Amino acid sequence: MLIRPATTAELPALQAIERASGEPFRSLGMAAIADDEPPTVEELDRHRRAGHAWVAVDADGAPAAYLIADPLPDDRALHIEQVTVHPRAARRGVGRTLITYAADRAREEGATALTLTTFADVPWNAPYYARIGFRPLADAELTPALRDIRAHEAELGLDRWPRLCMRRDLTEGPAYLTPRSAP
């Protein structure tokens, strides 16, 4: 799949990807997550204008997945706000490829790590991220920016299910050359 910056015209398609990817949460008793509204077009456009919104497009050039992120300058990290793969493109390495692309862009911008927050017990969340090199952060390791992100998530009610912050340090060279952790 080709990874490239998202365009303004694609932002509604990203919302559709988000809605479709929420459906599997129903089987885990997380209907509120499945029913949650996707990021607004304005929010997605803010990431796009900042240069932190990327899409994975299929052979027809249509978005099949996306990643949006925010730099955390005080942490020297790029925080992955959302990485979402349409179910039709799931289990093909698309999410991993998007994360690798974001890691390379983050490194170019001087970041030393990727961070994210995620559901601890959802198989395609924390366990997946651990397999691709992210590690859980203890509360004592959370920076002020990550504490603020977690507080906002709690306000939104996401703490109904166990959540955690994770970090992947970026080494020198392209992310695709960094060692992968064992499955």
Tokens of 138: 């203890």
Examine residue 89 and state whether it is found in any structural domain, yes or no.
Answer: yes
Phi, psi of 12, rounded to the nearest 5 degrees:
-60, -35
- Please check the confidence at residue 123 and state whether its pLDDT lies above 70: yes
Parent domain of 73: 2-177
Q: Could you tell me what percent of the chain has a pLDDT over 70?
A: 93
Examine residue 121 and state whether it is found in any structural domain, yes or no.
Answer: yes
Each residue's pLDDT tens digit, 125-162: 899 999 999 999 999 999 999 999 999 999 888 888 88
Examine residue 182 and state whether it is found in any structural domain, yes or no.
Answer: no
72-90 core/surface letters (b: 16 or more CB in 10 A; e: else): beebebbbbbbbbbbeebb
What average pLDDT does range 108-134 have in this prediction? 92
Examine residue 93 and state whether it is found in any structural domain, yes or no.
Answer: yes
pTM for the whole thing? 0.89
Examine residue 149 and state whether it is found in any structural domain, yes or no.
Answer: yes
Report the pLDDT value the prediction gives residue 73, as an integer from 0 to 100.
77
Examine residue 183 and state whether it is found in any structural domain, yes or no.
Answer: no
Angle at which helix 41-50 crosses helix 11-22, to 10 degrees, equals: 120
Strand order in the sheet with 63-72: 2-5, 53-57, 63-72, 77-85, 113-119, 163-169, 135-136
Q: How many domains is the chain partitioned into structurally? A: 1
Examine residue 80 and state whether it is found in any structural domain, yes or no.
Answer: yes
Query: Looking at 26-35, 39-48, 59-68, 172-181, which range is the least confident one?
Result: 172-181
Q: What residues form DSSP beta bridges with 118?
A: 164
What Cα–Cα distance (Å) separates residue 158 from each residue in 51, 55, 90, 150, 183?
27, 25, 23, 9, 27
CATH number for the domain including 154? 3.40.630.30
Each residue's pLDDT tens digit, 63-93: 999 999 999 978 899 999 999 998 888 888 8
